[in-house]
Amino acid sequence: MLELQYLIILVIVLALVFDFINGFHDTANAIATSVSTRALNPNHATIMAACLNFLGAMVSTGVAKTIGGDIVSFPGLVDEKIIIAALIGAIFWNLFTWRIGLPSSSSHALIGGLIGAVLISVGVEGLNLHGIGRIIIALIASPAIAFLTGIVIMNIIFRLFENFPPHFLNDKFRKMQVVSAAMIAFSNGSNDAQKSMGIITLALFSGGFISEFEVPTYVKVLCAAAMALGTATGGWRIIKTVGGKIFKLEPPSGFAADLNSSTVVFSATLLNLPVSTTHVVSGSIMGVGTAKRVNAVHWGVAQQMVKAWGITIPITAAIGASAFFLVEAIF
């Protein structure tokens, strides 16, 4: 029993570390567009994003239940060692991609790590293939939807404001970007922080520390705080990629990208679906860029990002599986 308590504590610590890294890894999602167009001072933008990440994380637990319940066939099959291995895989990948400044999905990393650890320890029968399929469809469809709706929103803005002078539009939309940045920060918190909540709740439930799969209030507060603290530290390497290397953003296109991204992400939260804010924001930026001019988008950078998205789940699954043997040997 004492060993189980130690393992539960380790799960919670690692999940909060993952949440913290997720925060600074994904800060770019909320503030890259507003910082790149100089609508917000970087320090002010980071503080605002941290506060709204925390508030967003407190609004719902539906995504947490999906992460904790739809990946494994039955929570009782998954012990703390499996979850520790999954978190090691996700943390390693997040730190690696952050170090090289490559936007990648913390959601993909966590899901891949868990799939690999479960597969190597329990076998395929430990996986809820229907639930995993549903999650992967949401992860793949969301950036595609963001790309298409980004084109639509940008075209609407073009039509509504085509007779206004550029300097007037830039000034007005730069102010409006403060609101759109706040929206994406809130929606980011509402979806991303719940992933760690789901992992911790899964560990507590499988260990018999809670009797039903409901996210305890203290878990919500801890995960929201960890993500907010991570966000407050900033993620400048990735901000440079998201904010400027995909498409040269101006205030109108930055506003359109943020408005579109926040709508897609929060809609997913309401549907209890985990999505990658990184992918959605990148898809939105590609969409608004395409609406202006197809060759205005740096498709070489976009192609590198898509490749990284594609390999995240297989690589983190392999790391999670390998980490399981290490955890087994230690504990």
Q: What is the pLDDT of residues 71-86, one digit of tens each?
A: 998 877 888 999 999 9
Domain of residue 227, residue span: 2-330
Domain count, the chain: 1
pLDDT single digits (tens) 139-194: 889 999 999 999 999 999 999 998 898 888 889 999 898 899 899 889 988 998 88
Confidence (pLDDT) at 27: 61
In degrees rounded to 5, what are phi and psi of residue 37?
Answer: -95, 0
Query: Confidence band (pLDDT; 50, 70, 90) for 310?
Result: confident
Amino acid at 129: L
The pLDDT of residue 329 is above 70: yes
Confidence (pLDDT) at 213: 87
H or E element: which one contains 104? none
Confidence (pLDDT) at 108: 87
What global pTM score does this model have?
Answer: 0.88
Q: Are 198 and 10 in contact (CB under 8 A)?
A: no
More confident residue, 213 or 84: 84
pLDDT single digits (tens) 269-288: 999 999 988 889 889 988 99
Query: Confidence band (pLDDT; 50, 70, 90) for 232?
Result: confident
More confident residue, 331 or 302: 331
The pLDDT of residue 40 is above 60: yes
Enter the tokens of residue 64. 């947490």
Alpha carbon distances (Å) from 185 to 47, 118, 124, 226, 323: 11, 32, 36, 15, 32
Sign of the Cα torsion 80, 82, 88, 90 reads negative
Distance CA 317, CA 323 (A): 10
Residue count of the chain: 331
pLDDT single digits (tens) 16-36: 999 998 887 766 666 777 877
